[in-house]
C-alpha cells in the first residue's frame, strides 16, 4: 500500500452554471445538478488511485445512505475502504457546491466529520504504507488537534507526511497549525489560505514567513500556477491552459499529482508540473472526481506543452 489518506468523507451536491450568484432573500437558477463524491481527502485519494497508486482511506461516516454512497464510489475507484468506520450515532456530512467556470462557494454540514479523531484510525492502517496525507485541517475540528501526533507516529514508522489546510471558516488561521507543520513534510495551501496564514499579498513573502526546517510548502495559485521556495528563491511553474467546466477539487487533484511524483523521488519541479497538469485536467467535468487525470493523460498534457 503506497498511500494512506486520513480525513473527511462526504458527498457533494453540485449546483452548476448559475446565472447570477445567490444572495440572501433571493432565488437564482442553475443549469446543472449532480451528486458526486466530495471531501478534499477523498478526492485526493481517488486522484491517486486514478494515477495507478495503491491507496487506503481511513475515515468515519454515518450508517446511512450518504455513507453508503461515498464508500461505494471509493471502492469502485479502487481505494481500500476497510478502515472507514460507520457510526450509527452520526450523520454523514454533506457539502452543497454552487459552482461556475471561474469560482465556487461551498456550504457544508459536518456531521461525522466533526467527531472524527485519530483514535478512530485503526493501528493497522499504516501497515505497508509509504506516505500519509491529511486534507481539510481547519474543517476537521476533531482531528486537527491530533494531526501532529499522528504525523509523528507515521514518521517513526518510516512514512512521509503531507497536509492540505483547506479554508478556515473562522478566518483566524491558528488552531496549532504552525506546530503541526513541524511534523509535516509537504504542505499544500492555496492562494487564499496562503495569504490568510502568511498575512501578505505576495505569495513568495508568505512562503518565507511560513518556512521551517522540515516542511516543503507548495503554494497552489490557481491560474497563476504553483510555487515553492528553492534555497530562498521562488521556483514557479505556470498553470496549464484549460477551459474549465468546474473547478471543484482541482487543488486536491493537484495534490494527488504532486504526491504521486514526489513520493517516487522525482525532483520538486517535476512534481509541481505533474500536479499542475492533474489539477488542470480535473476541471473538464463537474465534481472533484468527475474527470480526474490518468497517468497517460497528465503525461500527454505535459509533453504537448513542453517548450512553450
pLDDT of amino acid 308: 56
CA distances from 183 to 73, 158, 174, 198 (A): 31, 13, 16, 19
Query: Beta strand 160-163 with 131-134: parallel, antiparallel or unpaired?
Result: parallel
Cross-strand pairs, 165: none
Bin 208: left if φ > 0, else alpha if -120 < ψ < 50, else beta.
Answer: alpha
CB 100 within 8 A of CB 14: no
Separation between Cα atoms, residue 217 and residue 184, nearest integer Å = 10
Separation between Cα atoms, residue 259 and residue 255, nearest integer Å = 6
Report the C-alpha dihedral over residues 160, 120, 43, 252, rounded to 10 degrees: -50
3-state SS class at 297:
helix
The pTM score is 0.92
Cβ neighbours of 230 (radius 10 Å): 12
Query: Beta strand 186-187 with 160-163: parallel, antiparallel or unpaired?
Result: parallel
Residue ranges of alpha helices (H) inside 146-267 are 147-156, 177-181, 191-198, 203-210, 250-262
Separation between Cα atoms, residue 48 and residue 118, nearest integer Å = 22
Separation between Cα atoms, residue 265 and residue 24, nearest integer Å = 49
> Rg of the Cα trace of the chain?
18
Q: Name the nearest CA neighbour of 242 among 262, 225, 259.
A: 225
pLDDT of amino acid 98: 87
**169: Cβ contacts below 8 Å, ≥ 6 apart:** 138, 139
CB 172 within 8 A of CB 203: no
> Residue 46: enclosing H or E segment and its boundaries?
helix 40-50
Which cell numbers in the block locate residue 195?
A: 495569504
Would you write out the chain's pLDDT as a tens digit for each of its 308 residues? 699 999 999 999 988 888 888 888 999 899 989 899 999 999 999 999 999 999 999 999 999 999 999 999 999 999 999 999 999 999 999 989 887 766 778 888 999 999 999 999 998 999 999 999 999 999 998 999 999 999 999 999 999 999 999 999 889 998 899 999 999 999 999 999 999 999 999 999 999 999 999 999 999 999 999 999 998 899 999 999 888 887 888 999 999 999 999 999 999 999 999 999 999 999 988 778 889 999 999 999 999 887 55
**166: Cβ contacts below 8 Å, ≥ 6 apart:** 40, 135, 136, 137, 138, 139, 193
236 phi, psi to nearest 5 deg:
-115, 135
CATH code for the structural domain at 3-21+30-168+239-298: 3.40.1190.20
Amino acid at each position: 500500500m503506497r498511500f494512506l489518506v486520513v480525513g473527511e468523507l462526504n458527498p457533494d451536491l453540485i449546483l452548476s452554471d448559475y446565472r447570477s450568484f445567490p444572495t440572501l432573500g433571493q432565488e437564482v437558477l442553475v443549469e446543472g445538478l449532480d451528486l458526486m463524491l466530495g471531501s478534499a481527502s477523498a478526492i485526493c485519494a481517488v486522484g491517486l488511485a486514478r494515477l495507478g497508486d495503491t491507496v487506503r482511506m481511513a475515515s468515519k461516516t454515518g450508517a446511512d445512505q450518504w455513507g453508503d454512497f461515498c464508500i461505494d464510489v471509493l471502492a469502485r475507484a479502487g481505494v481500500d475502504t476497510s478502515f472507514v468506520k460507520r457510526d450509527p450515532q452520526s450523520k454523514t456530512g454533506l457539502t452543497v457546491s454552487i459552482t461556475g467556470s471561474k469560482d465556487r462557494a461551498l456550504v457544508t454540514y459536518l456531521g461525522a466529520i466533526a467527531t472524527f479523531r485519530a483514535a478512530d484510525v485503526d493501528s493497522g492502517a499504516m501497515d505497508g504504507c509509504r506516505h500519509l496525507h491529511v486534507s481539510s485541517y481547519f474543517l476537521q475540528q476533531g482531528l486537527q488537534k491530533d494531526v501532529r501526533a499522528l504525523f509523528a507516529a507515521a514518521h517513526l514508522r518510516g512514512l512521509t507526511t503531507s497536509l492540505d489546510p483547506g479554508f478556515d471558516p473562522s478566518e483566524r488561521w491558528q488552531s496549532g497549525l504552525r506546530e503541526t507543520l513541524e511534523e509535516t513534510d509537504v504542505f499544500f495551501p492555496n492562494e487564499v489560505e496562503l495569504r490568510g496564514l502568511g498575512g501578505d499579498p505576495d505569495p513568495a513573502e508568505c512562503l518565507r514567513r511560513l518556512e521551517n526546517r522540515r516542511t516543503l510548502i507548495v503554494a497552489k495559485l490557481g491560474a497563476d500556477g504553483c510555487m515553492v521556495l528553492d534555497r530562498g528563491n521562488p521556483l514557479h511553474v505556470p498553470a496549464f491552459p484549460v477551459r474549465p467546466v468546474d473547478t471543484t477539487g482541482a487543488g486536491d487533484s493537484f495534490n494527488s499529482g504532486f504526491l504521486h511524483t514526489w513520493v517516487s523521488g522525482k525532483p520538486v519541479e517535476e512534481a509541481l508540473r505533474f500536479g499542475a497538469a492533474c489539477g488542470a485536467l480535473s476541471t473538464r467535468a463537474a465534481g472533484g472526481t468527475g474527470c480526474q487525470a490518468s497517468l497517460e493523460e497528465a503525461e500527454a498534457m505535459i509533453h504537448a506543452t513542453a517548450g512553450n
